[in-house]
Amino acid sequence: MYKTTGLLAALLVTFPAPSAFSQSDVWDGLARTTFDIPAATLRIPCAVLEDGTGMAIPGFAPAFALNLQLIGDALRLVEPIQAIEEIPESCLDTLVVDGNIAIYSTDSAELGSNDAVNTNRFYTIELQATIPPEGPIDFTVLTAEDRLYLRPTYEGSNFELRAGIAPYSRDFVYDDALLELAYKEMLDGITVFEAGNLEIQCNFDDPQALLEVVGNLGDNTQYRIKSSLTATDNNKIFSINCTAFNRDINRLELTVPSFEWTITLP
């Protein structure tokens, strides 16, 4: 059973309530935990808070944004910290508090560097702190391993088609059947080099507003090319784009125009 003499009580002692949960922009733009090299600080935009059994800790926010500053051989918890009242889907890391022991873990940390050598390098890190009755909380490194991440690639077909002539005549209906076909093509053509939570979505992309809605069957929205289009609109394009997003590192990996139609009207 978690006791209030643990990490959270220490947080509230170390940082009085008004400043403990103040807003700050130090995590802005961070999709994952990043080591801020100039500040020598590990910026953690979101870590889910759990007890030793993996359950939420009553009375406290379910997640926190944290900063761990490198001081000597330790990573010290420093301001600002921020409570997160609802765990977002993008929350990747975990902070387990069991008695006076806190363990932080991540599989997706990276260096805050623009160097090409670090572009696809990710770190698996596990840190542990023994929480003192008062004073700073220092984490030591239990494990730290890096890996060179290989992004997925797509080697499938990209179909270039004509809209306005057979088989995609003016009256042809574009709907979920085509999205499902594009999704299958994406699955068949993608090569994943590192196991992970890869989410694939396919949607119509119509930046020039060439399509109009002609019906809905449940969640299935149906489109046709606009009746107002003429030969002056020829060579304009709409498509079905399929994206692959890796939830394990919160990164958009690929956007593939699986099916691309060019307006071709007499």
This model's pTM is above 0.85: no
The count of C-alpha atoms lying within 13 angstroms of the C-alpha of 41, restricted to the half-sphere facing its C-beta, is 17
Q: Residue 219: its pLDDT value, please? A: 86
- Per-run averaged pLDDT (10 residues), the chain, 266 residues: 40 39 72 93 96 89 95 94 93 95 96 77 95 91 93 93 95 96 96 91 97 90 95 97 96 95 96
Q: Supply the pLDDT for residue 18.
A: 34
What is the pLDDT, as a whole number, of residue 115? 67
Residues 141/147/151/152 CA torsion (nearest 10 deg): -100
- How confident is the model at residue 5, as a pLDDT? 37
Reading the block at residue 91, the tokens are 């929350």
So what's the pLDDT on residue 212? 96
Cα 203 to Cα 201: distance, rounded to the nearest angstrom: 7
